[in-house]
Amino acid sequence: MRIALQPAFLLHRKPYRDSSRIYDFFTLEHGVISVIAKSVWRKEKGGSLANLIQPFTPLLISFVGRASLKTLSKVELADNHKNFSGERVFCALYLNELLLKLVGRNIPHPELFGYYSKSLDALKSASSVEEPLRSFELFLLAELGYEIDLETDSTGTPINECANYLYEPTHGFTKIQSEIVNEGGRYLGRDILAMAKGEFNGVSAALKRLLRVTLSYHLGEKELQSRSLFPSK
């Protein structure tokens, strides 16, 4: 298989024997893939092309090989590198970590690819990082078939604005008799409905909690590392 000029972002790179490298790319039509770049390739191009392969840089990559073993043959810059000022780079790395740890290899996710690119731009320019981060998490979960049902509870009844709910990743929201659970584990109906409408202002703490629970359920054993470097507020 020979693929030419595939839009891609680098998610992660690691050294591979013989001074080669393995790159994990998120590509438009092939999803998350691992590609080997031979040391020869890096030397021949004077290293300058290999230097282009940085995270958050829109690339066009060409590669050959089967699903399990692909070899990089060419790289071009598709657009300018998205420079993140200061701590926002850690938020951007967090998106990469989510993709690496949750998305299966060699499965196309073209819409997620577009959303990722848009989210990087939003992370660069938005006044707060919360909105782009939460939106990306929600989109990613939906794309992978783990969508959180924000409109109906576990019995199929529409979420009631005035009711209190418990949330479990396996069941969704379950209505509870008001104050028997402390605030840390409880969700207000009106907050859930606001999330469903994409109105994240004012519910950011609850939404963050909801997404953490859901993401860590789907991550299983894998832990997210980049959060530890997030700006402390």
Partner 1 sequence: MAAASFLFKNKVSDISAFDSLVSAFCCLPGVGAKTAQRMALHLIERDRQGASVLSEALQNALKKIGKCKLCRNLSEGEHCEICVDPRRDKSLICVVENPADVFAIEQSGTYRGLYFVLMGYLSPLDGIGPDEIGLGDFKNRIIEEEIKEVILATNPTVEGEATAFYITKLVGLQGIQISRIAHGVPIGGELEYVDSNTLAHALSGRRLITK
* Among 2, 48, 68, 170, interactor with partner 1 by CB under 8 A: 48
Structure tokens at 14: 């690691």
Tell me if 216 contacts partner 1 by CB under 8 A.
no
Would the CA dihedral through 42, 46, 52, 55 be positive or negative? Answer: positive
User: By the 8 A CB rule, do 204 and 231 touch?
Assistant: no
Site for partner 1 in 100-129 (CB under 8 A): 100
Could you tell me the smallest distance in angstroms from the CB atom of residue 211 to partner 1? 18
Tell me if 221 contacts partner 1 by CB under 8 A.
no
Q: Which of 226, 232, 233 is nearest to 91 (CA)?
A: 226
Looking at beta carbons only, is 120 or 194 nearer to partner 1?
120
Could you tell me the smallest distance in angstroms from the CB atom of residue 17 to partner 1? 7
Burial of 144 (0-12, 13-18, 19+ CB in 10 A): middle
Tell me if 97 contacts partner 1 by CB under 8 A.
yes
Q: Which helix (H) or strand (E) holds 193?
A: helix 189-196
Could you tell me the smallest distance in angstroms from the CB atom of residue 89 to partner 1? 5
Site for partner 1 in 136-195 (CB under 8 A): none
Using CB under 8 A, which of the segments 48-56, 66-74, 161-169, 175-183 binds partner 1?
Answer: 48-56
Tell me if 34 contacts partner 1 by CB under 8 A.
no
Tell me if 18 contacts partner 1 by CB under 8 A.
yes
Residue-wise burial string across 177-196, b where 16 or more C-beta atoms lie within 10 A, e elsewhere: eeeeeeeeebbbbebbbbbe
Residue 138's φ and ψ, nearest 5 degrees, are -65, -45
Residues at the site binding partner 1, with contacts judged by CB under 8 A: 12, 14, 17-19, 39, 48, 51-52, 54-57, 77, 80-81, 83, 86-87, 89-90, 93-94, 96-97, 100, 225-226, 228-229
